[in-house]
Amino acid sequence: MTVHLVEGEKVDIGFDGHRCIHSRNCVLGHPEVFVPNAPGEWIHPEAASVEAIVAVAESCPSGAITYRRKDGGPQEQPPVVNTVRLRENGPLAFHAELEINGEQSYRATLCRCGASQNKPFCDGSHSKSGFQATGEPVSKESQALEARSGPVNVTPQSNGCLKIEGNLEIVTGTGRTVDRTTKAFLCRCGQSQNKPFCDGTHKKVGFVA
């Protein structure tokens, strides 16, 4: 992880360009804080309240924006319920106590179209490739988990799917629960006939990652 850290008096802002896919939202939402294409530093922690910056960071689905409070306020905490949200024709949006290839975070958007040049992270290629995958698949029968939080390990399999280990609820874009699981294999080649789950199609199509 390569994070650009900008220190402020009351809050520091971290930016990981490796993960960012929604910078327009930050720039339009808080143009006083995020000033792209400007000479010198383009992130200004003092230009908004700490609470405003916290809200921006905690609503960033990719985890590209992070913060470190210095005013005595609470730091970001892992969610009470681990979720991965299925974006319509788009990526897998995780909110959990994540570990991905040794990187730890609370939020991440991972590619499921197979076309990202930044695997396992999404880089927006689904829009250019015309990827289609419903964000509202049929729900599976599942039992309530004994625990709904805790660490979630995401392991991209070589030329294959995403192996997920940990308490996780798979939900639709509207919040409906698709599955509750402690272990899952999610498609990232973009061609499974059982999305979001892997069905082995990556082997037939020669997916490389």
Please report, for the chain, the start and end positions of each structural domain, with discontinuous segments joined by +.
4-69, 83-205
Q: What pLDDT was estimated at residue 78?
A: 97
Element of type H or E holding 205: helix 201-205
Question: Looking at this protein, which amino acid is placed at residue 102?
Answer: G
DSSP class of 141: P
Matching residue, tokens 């939202």: 25
CATH T-level topology, domain 4-69: Alpha-Beta Plaits (3.30.70)
Rounded to 5 degrees, what angle do the CA atoms 154, 58, 143 make?
50
| Average confidence (pLDDT) per 10 residues, the chain, 209 residues | 90 94 84 91 96 95 96 97 98 98 95 97 96 96 97 98 98 96 98 98 97
Matching residue, tokens 């897998």: 92
Q: Do domains 4-69 and 83-205 have the same CATH topology?
A: no
Q: Which SS3 state, helix, strand or coil, does residue 11 take?
A: strand
CATH T-level topology, domain 83-205: Ribosomal Protein L9; domain 1 (3.40.5)
CA–CA gap between residue 120 and residue 163 (Å, rounded): 12
CA–CA gap between residue 2 and residue 194 (Å, rounded): 35
Hey, which residues does 129 pair with through a beta bridge? none
Q: What pLDDT was estimated at residue 32?
A: 95
